[in-house]
Amino acid sequence: MDIHGPIYSRRFGTSIIINLRDHKNEKNCTWRCIYCPWKKENLITKSPEEFPSRTAGNQNFMTESLVKLRRLTQSQSDLKSVILSGNSDPTNYRGFEELVSEIIAFRKTQKGAWSLVCFTNGVALDNESVLNACESVDEIWVKLDCSNIALFQKLNRPVTQAESFKKQVENIGKLHAPCIQTMLWRNQKDFEYQNWTPENLKGLIDIYEQLKPAYVHLLTPKQESLFSAIQPVGHEGMHGFALRIEERGISAEVWG
């Protein structure tokens, strides 16, 4: 577990970031999204059951990390958020539930006013204990970039076939008030590897309406990805799409 901050986030204010990863510069995730900025040589893809559990071997390290987090949260009077995010999906780690519970418990003890935020691709939400932990955080942000199975397989590239598009949408629907983060991009060299298409945008709006998220945040890639042909969507296009979402009564903002 890597803890750093405080940093300033345009979306979440003064924040502390918790990255649940195994090794420095290695990405532990069950997806291989083509816009991911983590380079292939540092990529470790696993199925959820392969991620490390909170055993005696890492208990001391976890305890030390929580002590550091308590110290950081106490020393930052303007702290707005503690964010579970980074180059690894936090919900894949066995022990995620206990970690969330402990963070919430010491926030209560400190009488902290900061929010606990978590980012996930949603794969682990079919696990009841993970789902309950996600429901207990203040904001749970789930990835949704594609509106059909073919695009999902081609662009988000799940490690196992069990991680289906249908399952992803069903998992998001299990949350009481999900927040959805959508990355949108163009591909000038191969149009099949972009999700900025009329069909996908219409399909996403239909799914948003079905899921009724608390918020939708729209982003577009700004840094180098695994596929160099990926290009950001322009300001006008992004804001135009946000307006289409809001016409359905769903709060949408552009952050990319």
Tell me: the pLDDT tens digits for 91-138?
987 789 999 999 999 999 999 999 999 999 999 999 999 999 999 999
- Of 52 and 63, the structure prediction assigns the larger pLDDT to 63
CB 132 within 8 A of CB 97: yes
CA distance 37 to 40: 9
Could you report the per-residue pLDDT of 175-207, keeping only the tens digit for each? 999 999 999 999 988 889 999 999 999 999 999
SS3 (DSSP) at 218: strand
CA–CA separation, 25 vs 167, rounded Å? Answer: 29
Pick from 237, 220, 150, 153: nearest CA to 182: 220
pLDDT number for residue 161 = 67
* Strand (E) or helix (H) holding 3: strand 2-9
Q: Is pLDDT of 49 > 60?
A: no
Domains of the chain, first to last = 2-254 (3.20.20.70)
Summarize pLDDT for 2-39 with one digit per residue, the tens.
Answer: 888 899 999 999 999 998 875 555 667 888 898 887 65
pLDDT band with cut points at 50, 70 and 90 for residue 164:
confident
Residue 234 has pLDDT above 80, yes or no: yes
